[in-house]
Amino acid sequence: MIVCACCHRPAHDPDADAVALAIGAAPLQRRLLEAVWRGKGEPVSTAAIITAMYSDGDLPDDPATCFKVTLHYLRRKLRGTGYGIESAIYSMGYRLSRTA
């Protein structure tokens, strides 16, 4: 359950910023979450997510590995929030999912 940072009440329809704030997401995790959130449940390609993560132009030597590590830790932080990031059909990318 996501709780509003201002009033500490349950947020029934939070946005990506509210979720990122609630879980204490690091900047790269926040950008990854925002990229997937904009897909509104539809698959977002890995290339589009990496582009969003490194929009400041500071691309690492191995962006694919950095993406996988960031995704791993973000998925861990999202546990218990009612949201998750799942792999879409093979090679289609990733999408936001609602969890129980």
For the residues of 22-42, what is the DSSP string, one character each?
HHT--HHHHHHHHHHHHTTTS
Confidence at residue 33, expressed as pLDDT on a 0 to 100 scale: 97
CATH of the domain at 53: 1.10.10.10
Q: Among residues 78, 25, 93, 69, which one has the least CA distance to residue 60?
A: 69
Quote the domain boundaries for residue 53: 26-98
User: Is the pLDDT score of 68 beyond 60?
Assistant: yes
Confidence (pTM): 0.84
Query: Is position 16 within any domain?
Result: no
Q: Answer whether residue 36 is part of any domain.
A: yes
The answer on pLDDT for 62 being more than 60 is yes
Residue 11 forms part of a structural domain: no
Report yes or no on 41 lying in a domain.
Answer: yes
12 domain residue, yes or no: no
pLDDT at 82: 87
Measured in residues, the chain has a length of 100
pLDDT of residue 1: 53
Q: What total number of domains does the chain contain?
A: 1
